[in-house]
Each structure stands twice: as structure tokens, then as C-alpha cells.
């Protein structure tokens, strides 16, 4: 089974800090994604990556950046954390053309900015 591992389940950081959320998948998937989920707003795509060192902006990239130096790891960076970035962050991976189709999600990181 594909495993997508997010480094922290719960995280509390201070306003203005630089925050790193890490995501690692173990099935050689090319595609990786970061979403945030807020009540009433559904899942919103922040950034995604088709391959190593490639990244594409999603729907809400402002205030975030990403890094993909290795195929298995996709990091989300909050450059200067703000309270409106308090949210549940979900990482997912996928691979074109082979099963399992669709996303495999990590367990999520609930981030609180104080």
C-alpha cells in the first residue's frame, strides 16, 4: 500500500515564524499536492508538483512556498506564519496511468498559529 506520511499530526507555532510541513511518500509517485481544509470551504489546493524540482501554484498559493528536492518528499513552507493560516493541511500523492488511481492522502497536520 502507498503510504503518505506527514511529519506532525498537531503543530503550534507563533505568528511570524517560518514553518515547515513535511510530506513523504514511499511508492515512487510523480505527483504530490498540498491542500488546506477549513470548515465550510472544503479542500483548497495550495501547490502541487509533477516532478522533482517542479512546482505549480494552486488556487491559494499566497503566503506559502514549496520545495521538492527529492521525488519522495514535498515540503510546504509558511514563510511568515499568520493566524489566518491556522488550518488542517493535507498532503496527497498520485501517479498517472496506474493504480491506485486518484490520491492517497497523508493523515493531515492540524496547524495552529498563535
Q: Does 86 bind another protein (CB under 8 A)?
A: no
Q: Does 43 bind another protein (CB under 8 A)?
A: yes
SS (H, E, C) the chain: CCCEEECCCEEEECCCCCEEEEEEECCCCCEEEEEEEECCCEEEEEEEECCCCCCEECCCCCCEEEEEEECCEEEEEECCCCHHHCEEEEEEEECCCCCCCCCEECCCEEEEEC
What does the per-residue mask of binding to another protein show for 1-40, with x meaning CB under 8 A? -----------------------------xx-x-------
Smallest gap from Cβ 97 to another protein, in A, equals: 9
Residue 83 or residue 101: which is nearer to another protein going by CB?
101
Amino acid at each position: 500500500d502507498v503510504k503518505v506520511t506527514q511529519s506532525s499530526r498537531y503543530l503550534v507555532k507563533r505568528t511570524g515564524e517560518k514553518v515547515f510541513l513535511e510530506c513523504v511518500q514511499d511508492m515512487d509517485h510523480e505527483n504530490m499536492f498540498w491542500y488546506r481544509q477549513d470548515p465550510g470551504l472544503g479542500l483548497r489546493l495550495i501547490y502541487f508538483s509533477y516532478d522533482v524540482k517542479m512546482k505549480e501554484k494552486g488556487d491559494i498559493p499566497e503566503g506559502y512556498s514549496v520545495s521538492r528536492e527529492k521525488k519522495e518528499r514535498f515540503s510546504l513552507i509558511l514563510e511568515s506564519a499568520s493566524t489566518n493560516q491556522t488550518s488542517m493541511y493535507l498532503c496527497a500523492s498520485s501517479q498517472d496511468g496506474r493504480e491506485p488511481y486518484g490520491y492517497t492522502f497523508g493523515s493531515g497536520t492540524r496547524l495552529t498559529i498563535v
